[in-house]
Amino acid sequence: MPKLENGLKALVSSLADSPLEGIEQSVSIEVQTAPNPADLTPGEALIAIRSAGLSWVDLLMTSGQYQHMPTLPYTPGMEFAGDVIAVGADSDAIWLNQPVFVDCFSVGPRSSGAYQHAGGFASYAVVPVSVIRKIPTDWTYDQACNFAGNYETAYHCLVTRGQLKADESLLILGASGATGVAAIQVAKSLGARVLATTRTAHKVEQLKQLGADHVICTQGESDGDVRRFRDDVKLLTDNRGVDCVYDGVGGPTSLEAIRCTRFGARFLIVGWASTPDVARGRGRRGAPNANRIPTNLILMKSLDVLGCPAVISTKHDPSLRATRQDDLLLWAEQGRIKPYISHRFQLQNLKEALLAKWTGDIIGGCAILAPDLPLRQT
Ligand SMILES: NC(=O)c1ccc[n+]([C@@H]2O[C@H](COP(=O)([O-])OP(=O)(O)OC[C@H]3O[C@@H](n4cnc5c(N)ncnc54)[C@H](OP(=O)(O)O)[C@@H]3O)[C@@H](O)[C@H]2O)c1
């Protein structure tokens, strides 16, 4: 094989006080020395990365405000897709020259093992062949690397925890987010009726096109205010309230959403995008600013409040993973789900991309593109 050209990689070398500071202070773009294919150990593959998904978690990790902290320095980018350009001895050569994506729980910064350093915001990654997956038919690299984290989260919340059924009503908070759009598609795939929320008026039509049956704008009179939207929900549910809430937003939006539920509803705790400073910055442990929800309403409304950690749950019950991966790949092949990507950025512009994520400009997925492949082979 010809010698490979050096590439680029992002590096997080220190932890900031907040994600916003992290974008400015913690993330740099460096030269990546091209791996030598001859150094691959048995069972390894070398991937020329084409595209990597940008996630809210990538942002939180720059300040250590996410529950899982990779060892510094690390290359961010939990999910990535590209071409297998070399395999080690005893590796399954069937993957050679194939377009693939990787299992983001097993390599990269969200993983715990020996391949944690193999993040996706880079030109190359060396990974075990066992984590390589075939890209679903007709999907692009950008779609493949905005898949597993988002759709496995939506599946874990709505199927495993929420037990969502056909014809039930679901209120999705933060529906324009990466996991939010995945939740719309998973819920529609299950036959549920989706009520979606957004703060942002110009996202309303787009969310309808992405499958939401109704979209409610939650923006109050001044910036950051959440308006009373329980009446909108009651109107859309014959005054009953929804059967289930998917809450990826937290804060005042959650408090209003509790009032949108029917008696005996399920309230799925997915995340808290509106309150990113729940935990201390710089990786200090503890959560002094944790969200609080009123126990009186939980009692009176007989709510089932369910925590839904997609990765942690699989540590406690590894059997959860195979079923959800199989179901999602089947739905992908059947065309029932397909990641939507609103923004693409070159790797060199990673800071701009992180800022767009922080300010909520992105709808669904975001792709970070590695420098063009032909430039990397001599
Ligand atoms: N449970 C799990 O296993 C799991 C897995 C992945 C992620 N998460 C968590 O789930 C949450 C959502 O993740 P994501 O990937 O969907 O994030 P995302 O792509 O950043 O989307 C979050 C959405 O929430 C809304 N939002 C953001 N800030 C807000 C604010 N101040 N007030 C009201 N709405 C706000 C925005 O929608 P609008 O602009 O349309 O309002 C945004 O599109 C995060 O907290 C993340 O850490 C949990």
Q: How far is the CA of 250 from the centre of ligand 1 (A)?
A: 9
pLDDT in tens, the chain (378 residues): 778 999 999 999 999 999 999 999 999 999 999 999 999 999 999 999 999 999 999 999 999 999 999 999 999 999 999 999 999 998 778 999 999 999 999 999 999 999 999 999 999 999 999 999 999 999 999 999 999 999 999 999 999 999 999 999 999 999 999 999 999 999 999 999 999 999 999 999 999 999 999 999 999 999 889 999 999 999 999 999 999 999 999 999 999 999 999 999 999 999 999 999 999 999 999 999 999 999 999 999 999 999 999 999 999 999 999 999 999 999 999 999 999 999 999 999 999 999 999 999 999 999 999 997 554 433
Predicted local distance difference test score (pLDDT) of residue 52: 98
**Six-digit token string for 126:** 């060396």
Predicted local distance difference test score (pLDDT) of residue 3: 83
Closest residue by Cα to atom 47, ligand 1, is 271
- What is the spatial distance between Cα 99 and Cα 299, in angstroms, rounded to a whole number? 51
Pocket test for ligand 1, best of 179, 246, 277 (most atoms within 8 A of CB): 179
Pairing between β-strand 79-87 and β-strand 99-102 as defined by DSSP bridges: antiparallel
Is there an atom of ligand 1 within 6 Å of 274 CB? yes
Is there an atom of ligand 1 within 6 Å of 120 CB? no
Q: Give me the phi and psi of 265, to 5 degrees please.
A: -75, 165
Closest residue by Cα to atom 28, ligand 1, is 274
- What is the spatial distance between Cα 132 and Cα 24, in angstroms, rounded to a whole number? 33
- What is the spatial distance between Cα 300 and Cα 290, in angstroms, rounded to a whole number? 23
Closest C-alpha to 203, from 369, 19, 359, 23: 359
Predicted local distance difference test score (pLDDT) of residue 377: 39
C-alpha 19 chain-centroid distance: 16
Q: Where are the domains of the chain?
A: 7-147+339-376, 152-314
- What is the spatial distance between Cα 278 and Cα 297, in angstroms, rounded to a whole number? 22
Q: Helix (H) and strand (E) counts for the chain?
A: 12, 15
Contacts of 93 (CB under 8 A, 6+ apart): 87
- What is the spatial distance between Cα 84 and Cα 93, in angstroms, rounded to a whole number? 10
Pocket test for ligand 1, best of 18, 54, 56, 200 (most atoms within 8 A of CB): 56
Closest C-alpha to 95, from 148, 133, 50: 133
Predicted local distance difference test score (pLDDT) of residue 375: 41
Is this structure's pTM higher than 0.85? yes
Pairing between β-strand 79-87 and β-strand 44-53 as defined by DSSP bridges: antiparallel
∠ Cα 360 366 369 (to 5°): 140
CATH class label, 152-314: alpha beta
**Six-digit token string for 284:** 């200090």
Burial of residue 3 (number of CB atoms within 10 Å: 0-12, 13-18, 19+)? exposed
Q: How far is the CA of 146 from the centre of ligand 1 (A)?
A: 15
> Which atom number of ligand 1 is nearest to the Cα of residue 180?
16
- What is the spatial distance between Cα 157 and Cα 140, in angstroms, rounded to a whole number? 26
Is there an atom of ligand 1 within 6 Å of 151 CB? no
Q: How far is the CA of 218 from the centre of ligand 1 (A)?
A: 14
Contacts of 253 (CB under 8 A, 6+ apart): 173, 174, 197, 218, 226, 247, 274
Contact between 102 and 127 (Cβ < 8 Å): yes
Please determine whether the domains at 7-147+339-376 and 152-314 fall in the same fold group of CATH: yes
Predicted local distance difference test score (pLDDT) of residue 157: 99
Is there an atom of ligand 1 within 6 Å of 276 CB? no
Pocket test for ligand 1, best of 55, 186, 249 (most atoms within 8 A of CB): 249
Closest residue by Cα to atom 37, ligand 1, is 174
Beta bridge partners of 154: none
Q: How far is the CA of 182 from the centre of ligand 1 (A)?
A: 12
Peptide bond into 73 cis (omega under 30): yes
Pairing between β-strand 132-134 and β-strand 99-102 as defined by DSSP bridges: antiparallel
Is there an atom of ligand 1 within 6 Å of 199 CB? yes
Predicted local distance difference test score (pLDDT) of residue 223: 85
How many C-beta atoms lie closer than 10 Å to residue 343's C-beta? 18
Closest residue by Cα to atom 40, ligand 1, is 198
- The CATH number of the structural domain formed by 7-147+339-376 is 3.90.180.10
Is there an atom of ligand 1 within 6 Å of 257 CB? no
- What is the spatial distance between Cα 300 and Cα 166, in angstroms, rounded to a whole number? 26
Q: How far is the CA of 177 from the centre of ligand 1 (A)?
A: 5
For tokens 């299950």, what's the residue?
A: 190
Is there an atom of ligand 1 within 6 Å of 55 CB? yes
Closest residue by Cα to atom 10, ligand 1, is 271
Q: Where are the beta strands (DSSP E) in the chain?
A: 7-12, 27-32, 44-53, 79-87, 99-102, 124-128, 132-134, 169-173, 193-198, 214-217, 242-247, 261-269, 304-307, 341-346, 365-369
